[in-house]
Amino acid sequence: MAHSLGCGHYPELNYGSGAKWIKNLTQSRLSTFLGGHFQDVNLSSVLYTHRLDGPKYVDLQVWNAPGLSKPLFQEAMQQTFKPAKKGDSFGPSWTNHWWKVKISIPSDFKQYERVQLEFDPGCEAMIFTTEGLPLQGITGGDAGERRVEHIIPREAVERGTYEVVIESSCNGMFGVPWSGDMIGPPEMNRYFNLASADIVVPNQDAWHLMWDFTTLKEIVDTLPGNSPLQNKALVTANAIMNAFKTGDAENIKQMREIAEDVFGKGWQAKGADIYQEGPEKAQVVGISYCHIDTAWLWPYRATQQKTARSWSTQVDLMERYPEHRFACSQAQQFKWLEQQYPPLFKKIQDKVASGQFHLIGGAWVENDGNMPSGEALVRQFVYGQRYFESRFGQRCETAWLPDSFGLTAAYPQLIRDSGMKYFFTQKLSWNNVNVFPHSTFNWVGIDGTQVLCHMTPVDTYTAQASVGDVNKGVSNHKNLESNDSALLVFGNGDGGGGALPKMLENLRRIRAINNIHRDLPPVSMGSTVEQFFADIERDSKEGKTLPVWRGELYLEFHRGTYTSHGSIKKGNRKSEILLRDVERLATLATLFKFDWSSYVYPKATIDDCWEKVLLNQFHDVLPGSAIGMVYDDAEQLYSEVRKDCQALLEDAFGVLLSDSVPLSGDSSISQPFNVVAVNTTPFARRDIIKIPMSGAGQNLLPGSVQTSVDGNHGYVLLQTQENEIIAQPAVASTEHGPVSAHTNGSDHIILRSSSLQLTISQGRITSLYDVKLKRELIAKGSTGGLVIFEDRPNYWDAWDVEIHHLETPIPLEFSSVRVIAEGPLRAAVQTQVKYGKSTIGVTISLDAFSTTTREHSRPLFTFDADIDWGERHKILKFELPLDINNTFATYESQFGWVQRPTHKNTTLDAAKFEVCGHKFADFSEYGYGVAILSESKYGYACDGNVLRLSLLRAATAPDAEQDQGKHEFSWAVMPHVGSFLESDVPKAAYIFNSPLHLRAVPQNAQRPWATSRSPFWLEGSPNVFLETIKRGEDDDFESKSANKTVILRLYEALGGHGRVQLRISPVVQVVDAYLTNLLEDHKASLSFASDAEAEASAGDHAATTTSRFRLDLDFRAFEVKTVKLVIENEEWVSGAKVDDGSRTSDSERGSWVTVGEE
């Protein structure tokens, strides 16, 4: 007997065509359900139930702030407002306009779940309460970051009236680009229209259906076509479209029930609890973030508004989405908010305390990761962490630089020593040559320190929280074998904004899908960045199972940023050096001031200067990739720093050299004086200084001292020994022969000393010759000098210099040569190059003495440039083709150096055709080498045997006038005996960047200086440098009775172990010493070593002071150490012997330069 296994209803006959679909057509259909050509009849047509406008419902008054002023709320409210209406035009670009908005709400609107104000000025705006509390930001226009709705509070709807104040600013999220190209220069005369000022009732069910459909469509577009979920989502979305009829409440309910076939029954009612179901471990962790460039396509003042708009919006979202966690960096932006929007700042403090608003980064700004000095990077963390701790009671645990254009290998050590062990970045996803091989890894720096680093596989810090973003967190992960977690950093950024409601809604839907399907990686919300990293740390057995990346994180992109906007690079370097000098001398002034002195360490002014310098180190300012308005502001800040630092130096000199005045051409000095100089380096040095012969210097030089050819300047040799503060004129020793300059007046120049000779023939450097070793350093058949290249990157104009620029060299020739100094101390020639619209003046000089006092050290060939630059899309470089063979060159970086290839064996090697260096780049082989030193440039290269320094660029976007006009800067060529590690290049470069402070001291001064030596110095390994001397951050600078602290920062500079004795003058009463972290927290107590020799040299004073004058310190390669010395109150200086330079013999004093003595 036959048995049937079916249900018995399968028909015998079939005349139909079947249900086979054409999948791609159905998939294409989905794009017609929202907006577009069918917006009058598709879902978009039912998104709003009511819309009302006009003065009956929305009464508008406006006040237009004058010019480019940016008045705050209280000031604006004191002005006279005038009537305005929807459709009004306002501008021009960058102006600010204040609106008073009075809303009358119809009584029948009480029945609706939500009533909103829709305010679209076409630009950015911020909504305030009438008391001045920022409520949220507005982003007008039609772009994807559009946010124009403001929810009217329920009590106002019940009342029927509502008032707000709105500040609109005439710029978009990305400024006001002139041509529509985002990076184009700003259009300065753009006007905006008030497109809407309406009361609207959104159809909430329709909006949720729109979000349902959007998620379904993203699944269809993201997942493979053969996956069950992709097909199910397509079937469901298609069914929703077929079910759409009238769009009324019942119809929308029907369509939402269809969507539950994918999301699960009743999923929405669970709200934030949806994340409590499903997989226990999420592979993708969502954190909201709002990257606000502190300046870029807008100036600093616009960022202050962007910050308030963006953060107030995120605080508002937290009220509606309990799972919403917002991470935020950059202490500078918090400080602006605290100063300008105190009510909002208080709300953010509350949200930080509740764990919803997360502090990350620990730095003052998200700074450039290549060009700030090592000490500046330290201060980024010191000022950032101290601010966060002082305002929020907590420090950051995760360093955060998602958008910086490459990262120095000094960072891991600095991050760890600033109290953090985690690091987030992602910019290397922009590499244009090689794909970076890791997502989660141990990043090990030059000293061996590691941080746990995550480079999100989502490849952005402005994710839209889409299905594609979540899926990419796993599908693009580079090392799933060791860890499969990814951080989803989402929210509109660069120009601010942050997360939108649609992003949070999308993530809830994705999690609902995770709870019943396995086709998408599970996503979670509600945790912190630190929890994300802590999970990785635990799962990887404290990093043991993770890959390791050693050395710098070099971005294979944006290489032109090392050179763009040369004046900003110069301002940065000079400001860093000035602040180092100020802190060092101000500290000494507090230690050596006399009882009657009222001098107080100027901490507040120093802090203000540092904050300005740190602000300008933001990763679109210092790199030169911002609009021109930003550089107007940045130059002003550098000018203020320079002025304040010079004033602070004069105050310190008033203590240390109490009767001295600065020596300059316009000094007015009526009595005889001696010339001295203050050396702010710890190194022995020799400097040939040039002094104007006019004014105070007219009787300066006796006949035996060199004068310039035109008689306008004199040259003097100043010399110091190690750790000496005062440099004094010295008599030239016989071991150094004179220098000379010769030219035929046109195309042949020879500068010669007893050890070196430079020959320029037909405008090019044809010979660089070591006279003592009889060695030619220029490669045979090659010439060096200035060279110009076409500079036309593929898109990112100010950012990029591409490898193809090297195919277009145009050698330039030195011409119009004249000798301006003939020796014996200095030989110099002045040259000029004419090219295009530019005039390039270069003075080339050679001194009789080397910069350092090291035996066999060679003097520098110094190139002082005075350029009037008028090129467009050109890059100017200086190059030397050297008769040296090596596979790598050495470049100074923060607290050390990095070596990079000179060849192109692999694409990793070839990608480094332009690199960042600080004060030097060196190309050496066994026995000899040549370095280029720079006092303000950062772009270098060594291509084979050709060592180059990039001098000027000429991009036209986003600043149309980048680098146009006058420039003054210097570089030097330093041949040296021995390889780099055998040379004195680091010390010479340090000195080259640290000019002496010239002073005139009256000849009859009783106390010419308070001390001639630093009270802190090093003995032992010469590879350890004393970089910073400053007062402690927590000192009470006004109190005379409290103990004081001095902070010393030291580092190993050459890449090996070192042991030094940190010597402390016996006249400084040190009672305790500690090894600290960078934030000056104690790590260990240091023991003093007894030193009988030091006690004896202190004489009677040793009996009343401690005998613990030495600290023994061991260093590993490139290690940075911070030492805190606790010093008894200032009364110890009473009776202290003034160091008046008595070690100087009468015969040596006879060589002093005396001015005005008859």
Q: Annotated catalytic, 403?
A: yes
In which residue are the tokens 């259906």 written?
A: 209
Angle at 276 between CA 271 and CA 281, to 5 degrees: 135
Written as one letter, the residue type at 87 is G
DSSP state of 5: -
3-class secondary structure per residue, 581-608: HHHHHHHHHHHHCCCCCCCCCCHHHHHH
Q: How far is CA 872 from CA 188, 499, 513, 797, 808, in A?
A: 22, 40, 54, 11, 15
Report residue 971 as tokens. Answer: 């570089």
Judged by phi (left if over 0) then psi (alpha if -120 to 50, else beta), residue 382 lies in: alpha
Strands 284-289 and 326-328: parallel
Element (H, E) at 819: strand 815-822
**Cis, peptide link before residue 692, omega less than 30° from 0:** no
Distance CA 1009, CA 1000 (A): 12
Report residue 1087 as tokens. Answer: 């023991």
Secondary structure (3-state) at 882: strand
Written as one letter, the residue type at 254 is Q
Secondary structure (3-state) at 59: strand
Judged by phi (left if over 0) then psi (alpha if -120 to 50, else beta), residue 978 lies in: left
Catalytic residue, candidates 205, 403, 447, 922: 403
On whether the CB atoms of residues 794 and 800 are closer than 8 A, the answer is yes
Secondary structure (3-state) at 1056: coil
State the angle between helix axes of 204-222 and 467-475 in degrees (0 to 180), rounded to the nearest 10.
30
Report residue 65 as tokens. Answer: 């702030």
CA 900, chain centre distance (Å): 22
Q: Which residues contact 733 (CB under 8 A, 6 or more apart)?
A: none
Query: What is the maximum span of the chain, computed from C-alpha positions, in angstroms?
Result: 140
**Can you spell out the DSSP letters for 924-975?**
EETTEEEEEEESS--EEEEETTEEEEEEE----SS-TTTT-EEEEEEEEEEE
On whether the CB atoms of residues 505 and 525 are closer than 8 A, the answer is no
Element (H, E) at 134: strand 134-139
On whether the CB atoms of residues 42 and 100 are closer than 8 A, the answer is no
Distance CA 585, CA 601 (A): 10
Write out the catalytic residue numbers: 403
